[in-house]
């Protein structure tokens, strides 16, 4: 499947169009995830942007795993990230790269810098480097090792590579300017020692390039023209350009920053997601409450709705928080005319139609989706004993209550008007059954115009319905009552209904099939646990926005 990207007019387009007027004739972008966790919806924004721009301008987009940090990286993450990008509908074709495969070339680049007198081996510890870096008001101090000779630097750097020093004992630093107003330019560390095995290169290397050195090189090696990243790298751009210029690459990639996606009432960072998974607070990386792409997928979101959402939120440099209601809007819009509607009763109460002949049943025809005739209709069995939603009946109903109450008619969807005559309660006063009568003349589709009712409620036939388990999801965190800005754990982020009753047409569902449960929301057959003998549905989203201002 291919998702359409139509977004134009953001500032990145302006930059690219400017560049295309000059010497450049094709653009080349990349999506560079670090394989240290699963992708989340923020990454989707970056994926849509990078692959979308390439497609729009007839260029290319690479998938590059930025695996220059040996700790925390993992093959499982590589597999999951590829799956998520494909699911979103994007294709890196034969351009799958790993930053770790450039370690030799990066080493060569570092040697070039040393030879040019633009890098030196430093013996200061991380703490000492930090202390001597100065701050926004005060310049930094030159390292006492800054003036080492090229020969000495070459020899020491090689010995670093050969494993002769311990972690942290030495670093390679760019020689730029300790009094630069930009702290990133104050002789930044570009290589560090780490005797940690790497998921791809094993123990071949014990020195690893730092992000700010590695990233421009990766871009340059791949011929990337526009290196799109998030705002926190804005202050690193001079260093990015410094690396590109000092190493005299012919195609100079242009770094462009944009603001990260933030969602209301949502914590998105990979580190946080990872802690939830590792502490067992959620059912794996694909828990339907997580905003990981695999979680969102299992929750039942379509890739179309995610791509639309990313386009709708747009791209800018200003940081903002997008209301999660906007994401919910996108999935409702996408499913509205696409999926079949069925009747499911989540909190059942029995209704007996006392004037309907015992043992009789009849077939009713109900449209599958009132918004889309092409989806046709289905047969639904009606009989004397039904279930309706407990909340659709009120004994002492206010005037504006248009559902079922004593002495007032309501329509059963696709069936008849019924009138409630008697309420049966158990010894504790809990309602266990409603005795109603129906009017044969009022059958849906019969053209009856005798009288009108204000409400229509859904129902299932007790004899025909099937049992299902239904998971109702909500955000993992909610604002605390004392302080709106503080997010606390939502104890009701998962409510499971063990015995929902659904009309039997649901038995034709397969894993990941989506439905509207009439009046209750959009639901998906769970990708892990659903079988024909164990019907499990997840609520994707309710029908109306629960968004409160």
By the criterion CB under 6 A, which residues form the site for ligand ATP? 32-34, 42-43, 45-46, 229-230, 260-261, 268-271
Burial code of 524-536, b = ≥16 C-beta within 10 A, e = fewer? bbbbeebeeeebb
Residue nearest to ligand ATP (CB): 42
Smallest gap from Cβ 56 to ligand ATP, in A, equals 18
229 binds, among ligand ATP, Mg ion, none (CB under 5 to 8 A by kind): ligand ATP
Dihedral, 481, 484, 488, 489 alpha carbons, nearest 10:
80
- Residue 111 binds what, of Mg ion, ligand ATP, none (CB under 5 to 8 Å, by partner type)? none
CB nearer to Mg ion: give 33 or 300: 33
| CB nearer to ligand ATP: pick between 166 and 271 | 271
Could you tell me where the beta strands, DSSP code E, fall in 55-146? 60-65, 96-98, 119-122
Taking Cα atoms as reference points, which of 44, 54, 56 lies closest to residue 86?
Answer: 44
C-alpha triplet 169, 173, 178: angle, nearest 5°: 120
CB of 426 to Mg ion, least distance (A): 58
| From the list Mg ion, ligand ATP, none, partner contacted by residue 168 (C-beta under 5 to 8 A by kind) | none
Closest distance between ligand ATP and the C-beta of residue 336, in Å?
27
Element (H, E) at 111: helix 103-115
Nearer to ligand ATP, 176 or 277 (CB): 277
For residues 225 and 239, give the distance between their C-alpha atoms in angstroms, rounded to a whole number. Answer: 17
Minimum distance of ligand ATP from residue 349's CB (angstroms): 45
Per DSSP, 88 falls in state H
**Nearest approach, Cβ of residue 262 and ligand ATP (Å):** 7
- Residue closer to ligand ATP (CB basis): 106 or 229: 229
403 binds, among Mg ion, ligand ATP, none (CB under 5 to 8 A by kind): none
* Of residues 34 and 283, the one with the C-beta less far from Mg ion: 34
Least distance CB 273 / Mg ion (angstroms): 12
| Contacted entry of ligand ATP, Mg ion, none for residue 33, CB cut-off 5 to 8 Å set by kind | ligand ATP
Query: Rounded to an integer, what distance in angstroms lies between the CA atom of residue 27 and that of residue 226?
Result: 7
Q: Which residue is nearest to Mg ion (CB)?
A: 34
Which residue lies nearer to ligand ATP by CB, 77 or 537? 77
Report which of 170, 206, 205, 210 is spatially closest to residue 190, judged by C-alpha positions: 210
Q: Which residues bind Mg ion (CB under 5 A)?
A: 34
Q: Residue 135's CB: how many other CB atoms inside 10 A?
A: 8
Give the ranges where 123-186 is alpha helix by DSSP (H): 126-132, 150-161
Taking the complex as a whole, how short is the minimal distance between the CB of residue 270 and ligand ATP, in angstroms? 3
Give the DSSP H or E segment for 498. strand 494-502
Nearer Cβ to ligand ATP, position 87 or 459?
A: 87
Contact residues for 370 (Cβ-Cβ < 8 A; gap 6+): 341
DSSP 335-346: HHTTSEEE-EES
Residue 521 touches which of Mg ion, ligand ATP, none (CB < 5 to 8 A by kind)? none
Contacted entry of ligand ATP, Mg ion, none for residue 261, CB cut-off 5 to 8 Å set by kind: ligand ATP
Q: State how far the Cα of 48 lies from the Cα of 330, in Å rounded to an integer.
A: 16
The residue among 32 and 288 lying less far from ligand ATP, judged by its C-beta, is 32
């Amino acid at each position: 499947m291919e998702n359409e990207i139509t977004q134009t007019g953001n500032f990145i387009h302006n930059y690219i169009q400017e560049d295309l007027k000059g010497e450049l004739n094709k653009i080349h972008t990349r999506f560079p995830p670090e394989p240290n966790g699963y992708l989340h919806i923020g990454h989707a924004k970056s994926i849509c942007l990078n692959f979308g721009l390439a497609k729009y301008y007839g260029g290319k987009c690479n998938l590059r795993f930025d695996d220059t940090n040996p700790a925390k990286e993992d093959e499982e993450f590589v597999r999951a990230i590829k799956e998520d990008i494909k699911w979103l509908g994007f294709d890196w074709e034969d351009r799958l790269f790993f930053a770790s495969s450039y370690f030799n070339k990066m080493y060569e680049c570092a040697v070039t810098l040393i030879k040019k007198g633009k890098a030196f081996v430093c013996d200061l510890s991380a703490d000492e480097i930090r202390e001597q870096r100065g701050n926004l008001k005060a310049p930094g101090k030159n390292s006492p090792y800054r003036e080492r000779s090229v020969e000495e630097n070459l020899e020491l750097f090689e010995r670093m590579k050969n494993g002769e020093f311990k972690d942290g004992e030495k670093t390679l630093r760019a020689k730029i300017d300790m009094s630069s107003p930009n702290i990133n330019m104050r002789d930044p560390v570009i290589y560090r020692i780490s005797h940690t095995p790497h998921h791809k290169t094993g123990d071949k290397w014990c020195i690893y390039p730092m992000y700010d050195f590695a990233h421009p090189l990766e871009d340059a090696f791949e011929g990337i023209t526009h290196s799109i990243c998030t705002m926190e790298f804005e202050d690193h751009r001079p260093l990015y350009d410094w690396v590109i210029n000092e190493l005299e690459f012919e195609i100079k990639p242009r770094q462009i920053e944009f603001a990260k996606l933030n969602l209301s009432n949502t914590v998105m960072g990979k580190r946080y997601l990872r802690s939830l998974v590792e502490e067992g607070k959620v059912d794996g990386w694909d828990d339907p409450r997580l905003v990981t792409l695999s979680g969102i997928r299992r929750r039942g979101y379509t890739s179309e709705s995610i791509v639309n959402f990313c386009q709708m939120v747009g791209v800018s440099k200003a940081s903002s928080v997008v209301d999660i209601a906007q994401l919910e809007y996108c999935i409702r819009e996408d499913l509205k005319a696409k999926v079949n509607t069925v009747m499911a009763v989540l909190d059942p109460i029995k209704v007996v139609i006392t004037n309907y002949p015992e043992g009789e049943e009849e077939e009713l025809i109900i449209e599958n989706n009132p918004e889309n005739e092409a989806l046709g209709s289905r047969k639904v069995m009606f009989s004397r004993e039904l279930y309706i939603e407990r909340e659709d009946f009120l004994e002492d109903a206010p005037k504006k209550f248009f559902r079922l109450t004593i002495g007032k008619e309501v329509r059963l969807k696709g069936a008849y008007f019924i009138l409630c005559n008697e309420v049966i309660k158990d010894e504790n006063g809990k309602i266990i059954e409603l005795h109603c009568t129906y009017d044969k003349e009022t059958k849906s589709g019969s053209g009856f115009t005798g009288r009108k009712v204000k409400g229509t409620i859904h129902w299932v036939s007790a004899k025909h319905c099937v049992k299902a388990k239904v998971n109702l999801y909500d955000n993992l965190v909610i604002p605390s009552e004392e302080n709106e800005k503080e997010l606390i754990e939502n104890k009701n982020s998962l409510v499971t209904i063990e015995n929902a009753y659904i009309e039997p047409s649901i038995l034709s569902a397969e894993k990941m099939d989506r439905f509207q449960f009439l009046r209750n929301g959009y639901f998906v057959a769970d990708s892990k646990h659903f079988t024909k003998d164990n019907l499990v549905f997840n609520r994707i989203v309710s029908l109306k926005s629960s968004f409160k201002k």
